Structure 1
Amino acid sequence: MDSMVQLSNIPESVLPSSGSTYGSTDDWYLALAEMHIATLLFQHNDMVSSEDDCRCKYVARQLFRRLAKQRRLSSFGFAEDNWSARSTTNKPKLAMPPRSGSFRLWNDHFRPVTVLVDESDLVLGVIDWEFTYAAPTQFVLDPPWWLLLEWPEEWTDGIEEWARLYETRLEIWLSALEEAEGEMDPGSFRLSTCMRDSWETGRFWLNYAAKDNWAFDSIYWKYLDDLFFGARDNEVPPEKLWETRLHLLTDEEQAAMEPLVRIKMAESKERTLVDWKDDEARQRMSSFLFD
């Protein structure tokens, strides 16, 4: 959230207040989904590149929030997933963590560069603890994004090439993990099984997109939308993908889209930082949340 305030100039008044806690995984997914909407609404500069780009980002965020509000994101890719298009063709087998009380220590920025070692490669400590919080267990069951050391959305050759290379590194990681798990007692929890399942079902991409505002738009239409709602027409150009899902929005959500497009296109003509008053920011946010 600090990055959202510093880099996107999102008003703090529309973000979760300091010290906010969540009693369930579904509440946390909903909070993340609404932060994605806040980014679209309040980031004045470099948020949209065209009218269709704005429509794609709006439709994706409203659908993502809808699924979070319906308590569906927490079950995606697990045996309890009885709603996604993916579950109808390849039923998941692993049970989801409990919806309430299942949180683990998590650090979004944990990666090799934050681990300090000595000359013998013995771990001395870990830095960047300021990015640590209690996160849904779902996050811990995903394979680590840092196997290629760089963020997917920053990969020079594009996110699809990142995913292709990542899959080869993932096999090495899982083999090493399985070897270590071989020394455990029979019947013990196998993290490697959950991580492999996360990649195969698409849970990896769901949680990565949920956590990362900057990556959401690179991931949603490419790796999540068809898993959620089924295959789209392959002939539809990327800038028109919003048209394939517009019918899933409510009348209110559809009616709000074009006014937002006009607002964002007008904003794009002038680079500036807007000093939002708290009441105005909350009003703008609430006018795009439909329950």
Structure 2
Amino acid sequence: MIPMLLFDYHVQIWSSSRKKKTLYEAATMAYLAQNTPIPVPSIFHHATSSDIGPAIILQHVKNTRDMSDALAIPDQDPEDTPVLNPNIDEGTLRRLYKNIGILLVQLSKPSFPRIGSLVEAAKGHYSVAGRPITQNMNNMIQLANIPKAVLPSANKTYESADDWYTALAEMHMAQLLFQHNDLVRSEDDCRNKYVARYLFYLLAKQGRLSSFGFVEDDWSAQSNSSKFTCSRPNGSDSFRLWCDDLRPANLLLSQEDDVVAAIDWEFTYVSPTQFSLDPPWWLLLEVPEMWSSGIDDWASIYDLRLKTWLLAMEEAECISTDRLPFKLSSYMRESWLSGRFWLNYASRKSWAFDAIYWKYLDERFFGPREANASEDQFWKTRVHLLGEEGRRNMDIVVQRKMDEAKERVLVDWDPSKAKELLHQILEGSEDLKI
């Protein structure tokens, strides 16, 4: 049996968490192998330090290709991001989607009492005892030099979905405050970004985001005209494993295109069940914010492929011999129709947040904007919702960002001053009157 070596090359700057991240990934893989039928390679050894850094030695699983190869345009330039083959046979697509759907059904079954990362507490026993380490948190440090002090502390776990949505919203504001270069283009652009983040934070803090698009949604503008049938999952003691980086390229296939191994479980943590009830973002392989023809075109094509995905999910659910905690196909269908898909996607991705908020969320939350509102001044249509202190803080942030734009530098923030600034901008936020 030939081993395969994985080493942690993603987290170069966040060195203090590289060891924890390796432990969390190893614990997740061991848990899945022990408690689910998901085909996870055996772990021969994992180490938090070695000559090449933290590493995991895995069983090598014989395969012919990965799921991305099966779905993508044939003979694409390997330097290009794979894109779903527009000419793929419908029957083939449905069969491949079903194979992924079976895995997602299995992943949705285990539940946990807290949000965070899995840790091996004792031999063969696992608990949620570490903070979530997300792909977005890693990007904030690697790509934008966001101070680590404003991210969740090392052993922080979360008791409710609302707590985690609030933490995600705080990190979006932290990105705006502390990314020095290449984020804001003008005062209006900065105000758009601030207002979107501030409103998102208020909605999270008031416990509204976790109910959006469910039967319990009695606050959003769209709830007055759209009636949904799926109930909000328990938000306080029943959460599911979620992998930020799970995608077709991580699924290795046999000659018959069956999934023989699911690899690369980094950035996996126990999350709000809401995340697992959305259709996967990767149905087209490429992320919406990077789609070459624009996000609207991505959404249009995604809508067509989602129909095939939902049929495949229904087949996968029928195959399951265990009682399912949720009818995933029904929840995923309503997630797309209601915009929950966009809410959760935006909540996890600071760099996609702005492209999504004003286009797919704002009017669902608060109703139609003024007909003559220009895109670069959408903030004017919602600024009245911020309250006096929120508007005052907006002016402070805009002035700071305009001053920063005069010089391209990397700023190393004093941890206490960074935390103080974030607290100052978010503290005293008033109740949002909708």
Q: Do structure 1's residue 119 and structure 2's residue 251 form an aligned pair?
A: no
Q: Give the Å deviation of 1:234.
A: 2.7
Q: Rg bigger for which structure?
A: 2
The answer for the alignment partner of 1:273 in structure 2 is 410
Select which of 331, 336, 350 maps to 1:213. 350
What corresponds to 1:162 in structure 2? 298
Q: 1:132 aligns with which of 268, 289, 298?
A: 268
TM-score (norm 1): 0.96
Amino acid in structure 2 at the alignment position of 1:166: Y
* Aligned position for 2:13: none
- Partner residue, 2:204: 68
**Structure 1 residue 290: Cα displacement:** 2.5
- The equivalent position to 1:51 in structure 2, one of 187, 202, 205, is 187
* Native 8 Å contact 1:252 1:290 kept in 2: no
Equivalences, count:
291
Instruction: Give the letter aligned to residue 144 of structure 2.
Output: S
Q: CA separation of 1:195/1:82 partners in 2, compared to 1, >3 Å: closer, same or farther?
A: same
Which residue does 1:99 correspond to in 2? 235
Task: State the Cα RMSD in Å.
Answer: 1.5
Q: CA deviation at 1:184?
A: 5.9
Tell me, in whole angstroms, the C-alpha distance in 1 between the residues paired with 2:264 and 2:318: 32
Identify unmatched segments of 5+ residues in structure 2: 1-136, 429-434
**Aligned-partner Cα distance in 1 for 2:386–2:210:** 21
Are 1:42 and 2:178 counterparts?
yes
List alignment gaps of at least 5 residues for structure 1.
Answer: none
Report the equivalent of 2:375: 238
Q: Judging by fraction of residues, say which structure has more strand.
A: 2
TM-score normalised according to structure 2 size: 0.65
* Contact kept? 1:25, 1:102, Cα under 8 Å: no
Pair 1:176-2:312 in alignment:
yes
Map residues 190-229 of structure 1 onto 2, 5 A cutoff.
190-229=327-366
Partner Cα separation in structure 1 for residue 142 and residue 295 of structure 2: 26
Kindly indicate whether structure 1 or structure 2 has the higher relative contact order, using CA contacts under 8 Å at least 6 residues apart: 1
1:191-222 CA-partner distances (Å, limit 9, x unpaired): 11110010001100000000111110000000
Given that 1:253 and 1:290 are in contact with CA atoms closer than 8 Å, whether structure 2 keeps it comes out as no
Superposition deviation, residue 103 in structure 1: 1.0
> Match of 2:282?
146
Q: 1:243 offset after TM fit, Å? A: 0.0
Q: Helix, strand or coil for the counterpart of 2:350?
A: coil
Q: Is the 8 A contact 1:142 1:204 kept in 2?
A: yes
For 2:148, the equivalent position in structure 1 comes to 12
| Structure 2 CA distance for aligned equivalents of residues 97 and 130 of structure 1 | 25
Q: Which letter maps to 2:393?
A: A
Deviation per CA, 1:7-32: give whole Å up to 9, x if none.
11110111101221000000000000
Determine the C-alpha separation between the residues in 1 that align with 2:378 and 2:143: 28
Cα 1:129/1:180, change in 2 over 3 Å: closer
Percent identity reads 57
